[in-house]
Amino acid sequence: MTNATLGAPPTDEAMRTEEQPAVRSALSRQRLTSAWLFLTPMLAVLAFVAGWPLLQTIWFSFTDASLADLDAARFVGLRNYFEYVDYGDGTGEWFGLFFDAQWWNAVWNTVYYTLVSVSIETVFGLIVALVLNVPFRGRGFVRAAVLIPWAIPTIVSAKMWAWMMNDQFGILNDMLMSIGILSHPIAWTASPETAMWAVIIVDVWKTTPFMALLILAGLQMVPSDVYEAAKIDGVHPVKVFFKVTLPLIRPAILVAVIFRALDALRVFDLIYVLTPNNTETKTMSVFAQENLFQFDQFAYGSAASTLLFLVIAAITLVYIKAARLNLGGGR
């Protein structure tokens, strides 16, 4: 028992023997009860505003619901997902979301948009965060200023950029032409080659500050004595960045990435306002919205929403697993 006499913390074994089992269970039972007491209102609200609409959407995806008369919806099984229709003359076709090329095109657009824009935003966000982490005069002002794009509502910034990217009156073409990069104006949001990139540019402009903010928070948690030690040892700053800074802020970056990715996977407003909504930029949300509200296909749109939910859930789970992200807190 030398450990104890030296004033070291008691071992696990010592702890276990010290606590009385009966007392612990009464205490923890009481704690459990109060925890549930505090959690119940929140769970009820969540079930009401998130769970119920979700379940209803999933239910509608198995019916033939029409927005004109939702109460008349009848159960039709998996017909909205896949169904073989026999034309009766020896020919037939597969129908349903699983066989809808437009849906898969929308899925691909969404995934492509998410991968590209979130990657760029992470790199840019990291750079901005590193700059803002260095003390300099007026840092507070700059930190506030970079948040402006994030603070502007998406609808407003999308409309603003739509004008700046206009092929006839847009300032972007005007500037690029006057410095000689372009010879004739480009229709940024309309041309199939540039439409998706126009969306990505605006998204990067808008959400880089958000990434920078989250990563900056991570950077501020890194203890300064680590850097001082590296400095004394004469380690090259680049090596310090890759061997010290990056591993230490990795959890912050991973959380920031998943926040942004979840946001990007359900993108709607930016694309709807900025681009003329052609095949090149149509995302899963836009596809679902069209079917739900513009066409008489409420059930089909519900099926698309359900798949959208599943796709996002699957990507999130894979990401959390692959990045070994600990969302439960603790170590």
Partner 1 sequence: MRFGRAAMAVAATLAFGTSPVSAAELSIVSGSVGADIQELRTQLAEFEAETGHHVNIVEMPASTSDQFGQYRLWLAAGTDDIDIYRVDVIWAPQLANQFVDLRDAMADVIGDHFPSVIESQTVEGRLVAFPMYTDAPALFYRKDLLEKYGRTPPTTWEELTETAKEIQDKERRAGNRQIYGFVFQGAPYEGLTCNGLEWVASSGGGQIVSPDGEITINNEAAARALERAHAWVRDIAPAGVLAYKEEEARGVWQTGNAVFMRNWPYAYALSNGEDSPVNGKFEVTTLPAEPGSRSAPCLGGWNLAVSKYSKHKDEAIALVRFLSSRRAQKERALTYARLPTIPALYDDPEIAERQPIIAEWADVVEKAVPRPSAPTKRQYNEVSKEFWTAVNETLSGAASAETNLKTLEHRLRRLKRDGWR
- Minimum CB distance to partner 1 smaller for 171 or for 246: 171
Q: From residue 86 to residue 105, what is the string marking binding to partner 1 with x (rule CB under 8 A)?
A: -------x-x----------
**Contact between 300 and 220 (Cβ < 8 Å):** no
Taking the CA atoms of residue 218, residue 220, residue 225 and residue 231 in that order, the dihedral angle to the nearest 10 degrees is 90
What's the burial of 314, exposed, middle or buried (CB within 10 Å: 0-12/13-18/19+)? exposed
Asked whether position 289 contacts partner 1 by CB under 8 A, the answer is yes
Token representation of residue 9: 């913390």
Using CB under 8 A, pick the residue from 69, 89, 225, 233 that binds partner 1. 69
Query: Any contact of residue 108 with partner 1 (CB under 8 A)?
Result: no
Q: In this structure, are residues 214 and 249 in contact, taking their beta carbons and an 8 Å threshold?
A: no
> Within 10 A of 320 (CB to CB), how many other CB atoms are there?
14
- Give residues 49-68 in contact with partner 1 (rule: CB under 8 A): 66-68
Q: How far apart are CA 86 and CA 227, in angstroms?
A: 71
Size of the site for partner 1 (CB under 8 A): 31
Among 104, 169, 241, 242, binds partner 1 (CB under 8 A): 169
* Interface with partner 1 in residues 227-266 (CB under 8 A): none
* Closer residue to partner 1 (CB): 70 or 127: 70
- Alpha helix (H) ranges present in 186-290? 195-221, 224-233, 237-240, 246-265, 269-274, 284-289
The one segment of 238-246, 263-271, 289-297, 315-323 that binds partner 1 by CB under 8 A: 289-297
The answer to whether residue 190 forms part of the interface with partner 1 (CB under 8 A) is yes
Give min distance, CB of 276 to partner 1, in A. Answer: 4
Please list, in sequence order, all residues whose beta carbon lies within 8 angstroms of the beta carbon of residue 76, skipping any fewer than 6 positions away: 62, 63, 64, 299
* Contact by Cβ (8 Å): 202, 270: yes
Residue 224: CB minimum distance to partner 1, A: 52
Binding range to partner 1, per CB under 8 A, among 25-33, 133-141, 295-303, 313-321:
295-303
Q: How far is the CB of 69 from partner 1 (least distance, A)?
A: 8
Pick 210 or 272: Cβ nearer partner 1? 272
**Candidate residues 80, 154, 157, 166; the one interacting with partner 1 per rule CB under 8 A:** 166
Helices (H), 65-178: 101-133, 139-145, 148-151, 154-164, 171-178
Q: Which of 28, 30, 294, 326 binds partner 1 (CB under 8 A)?
A: 294
> Residues in the site for partner 1, rule: CB under 8 A?
66-70, 85, 93, 95, 166-169, 185-187, 189-192, 275-279, 289-290, 293-297
